[in-house]
Amino acid sequence: MRDPAIETMDRDDLDALSEERVRYTVQYAEDHSPFYRRWLAANGVSARDIRTHDDLLALPIVSGATIRSYQPPIARDFGFLSAPCADIFTIHETSGTTGVPKAFFLTWEDWTRYAEKYARAFAAQGLGHGDRVVVCTSYGMNVGGNTMTVAAHRLKMTIVPTGKCTFPSRIITSYRPTAIVGSVFKLLHLADRLEAEGIDPRESRVQRLIVGGESFAEEARTYLSDRWDCPVYNTYGSTEGTMCGECTVQDGLHVPEDMVHLDLYDPALRTFVPDGAEGRIVLSHLLPVGGRSGMVLLNYDSEDVTSIVSRERCACGRSHLRIRPPGRENDRLAIGMARLDRTEIERAVFAPENMADLTGEYEAFLYGEGDAGAVLRIGLECRDPGACDRRAISGRIVETLAAHNPLLGSMQAGSELRVLFSFTGPGGLELQQIKGRPKRLVDRR
Ligand SMILES: [Zn+2]
């Protein structure tokens, strides 16, 4: 464990530490962040009014759009920059799927906190001195790959900074990595590619896969774990500063509660949901008293959803809060009264019986509602489209979808929804023609 005193702290002490840091961080924001200073003054709120984390309800919810609207070219200055420019160590940008990327300013002190969050997660996943880790997360303007590398230094690990999962197979055969950080689908592709070259991923030295970057169905994780014959650990990180990781117990992702405060809000973002209920992740940075930050965020709406597994001590000994693997709000569509999450399709695709024929790659499109009903078209990539048992696969997917989502099932039974399938060979899906992070459930209504 990286920091037993903090990571195993009793709940009361941990809550007290968190409250103290909420107070300090809000005061820091009022003193140093033009955005928060102006907002507090305009709304007649003072940092001194914020005494406990419940008082964060009195502060604005900040979205990605808020950050973009307080930075060039919309604004003259960076409203969220909260340290003198000369104190900034690195400037980052998020990938910018919608318009201008968000700018992020990190001091070296921020780096040490990001790195510590990753180091704790890596340690909780059993990594340490002697491990050789291939990092497929992109470097460049992202925070992730870079701060993971600093985290590795803390754990005395070796990093192979490939920055992407399309590295040549010699990285595996020559350097014999013990772990790979990547995304589920990219690590599946890598397994396929290695096997095509006569290298069995199960026979490699890889003992752990660390995945993140997108939500996934547990069935996809199980399949990936089987392909590599090793455990797959989930992480949830972002440039905005969340960094939660599963431990080897795999019963939720630990939130580093001394560095990040996480609230779960109702869909209207008005109030907190009770423990156990699903809510929108709204996060606040926590600075230690006397600490400084290049860009402090309070009440940042991640647009991700999760629920709390437990605030009780985990079997690994850590006391920090555990959350379910977060999902993305924009991975969900409403169809009539029913709601469909992308990972529900993924779960049905990754049924073990399908995986002899399918690669796991899929995409889904939802077309017109109205008198004719809605159509969900699921595209599947087959290893050999000629030999794949299309009827059996389609039947299983429809059954699994209906079994887990009864409303959707009854819409199908009542002809309000038709589910159609298309089967392609390797590389034949529409999303494989698009650069960047693919969207697998697309609303075309
Ligand atoms: Zn644990």
Q: How far is the CA of 272 from the centre of ligand 1 (A)?
A: 24
Q: d(Cα 340, Cα 204) in Å, to the nearest integer? A: 38
Q: How far is the CA of 94 from the centre of ligand 1 (A)?
A: 29
User: What residue has token string 């589920």?
Assistant: 184
Q: How far is the CA of 420 from the centre of ligand 1 (A)?
A: 42
Q: How far is the CA of 245 from the centre of ligand 1 (A)?
A: 9
pLDDT at 205: 95
pLDDT at 148: 94
Q: How far is the CA of 298 from the centre of ligand 1 (A)?
A: 26
Q: How far is the CA of 250 from the centre of ligand 1 (A)?
A: 7
Q: How far is the CA of 308 from the centre of ligand 1 (A)?
A: 14
Q: d(Cα 25, Cα 174) in Å, to the nearest integer? A: 47
Q: How far is the CA of 18 from the centre of ligand 1 (A)?
A: 19
Q: Which residue has the higher pLDDT, 416 or 83?
A: 83
pLDDT at 140: 86
Q: What angle do CA 251, 254, 256 make, to 5 degrees?
A: 175
Check pLDDT > 70 for residue 330.
yes
Greatest mean pLDDT range, 90-99, 134-143, 279-288: 279-288
Q: Say which range, 53-62, 72-81, 326-335, has the weakest mean pLDDT.
A: 326-335
Q: How far is the CA of 215 from the centre of ligand 1 (A)?
A: 20
Q: How far is the CA of 125 from the centre of ligand 1 (A)?
A: 9
pLDDT band at 100 (very low <50, low <70, confident <90, very high): confident
Q: How far is the CA of 314 from the centre of ligand 1 (A)?
A: 5
Q: How far is the CA of 303 from the centre of ligand 1 (A)?
A: 25
Q: How far is the CA of 135 from the centre of ligand 1 (A)?
A: 23
pTM of the model: 0.94
Q: How far is the CA of 129 from the centre of ligand 1 (A)?
A: 20
What pLDDT digit, counting tens, does each position of 236-268 carry? Answer: 988 888 899 999 999 999 999 999 999 999 999
pLDDT band at 307 (very low <50, low <70, confident <90, very high): very high
pLDDT band at 96 (very low <50, low <70, confident <90, very high): low
The DSSP secondary structure of 297-358, one letter per residue, reads -SSEEEEEEE-EEESSPPTTS--S-EEPPPEEGGGEEEETTEEEEHHHHHHHHT-GGGTTTE
What pLDDT digit, counting tens, does each position of 392-426 carry? Answer: 999 999 999 999 999 999 998 888 899 999 999 99
Q: How far is the CA of 246 from the centre of ligand 1 (A)?
A: 7
Average pLDDT of the chain to the nearest whole number: 94
Q: How far is the CA of 86 from the centre of ligand 1 (A)?
A: 39
What letter does residue 188 receive in the DSSP assignment? H
Choose among 144, 83, 139, 142: nearest CA to 117: 144
CB-proximal residues (5 Å) to ion ligand 1: 247, 249, 314, 316, 318
pLDDT at 97: 62
Percentage of the chain modeled with pLDDT above 90:
87
pLDDT band at 168 (very low <50, low <70, confident <90, very high): very high
What pLDDT digit, counting tens, does each position of 195-219 carry? Answer: 999 999 999 999 999 998 788 999 9
What pLDDT digit, counting tens, does each position of 351-399 carry? Answer: 999 999 999 999 999 998 666 789 999 999 999 999 999 999 999 999 9
Q: How far is the CA of 316 from the centre of ligand 1 (A)?
A: 4
CA 58 vs CA 26, 282, 293: distances in Å: 12, 14, 22
Percentage of the chain modeled with pLDDT above 70:
98
Q: How far is the CA of 95 from the centre of ligand 1 (A)?
A: 31
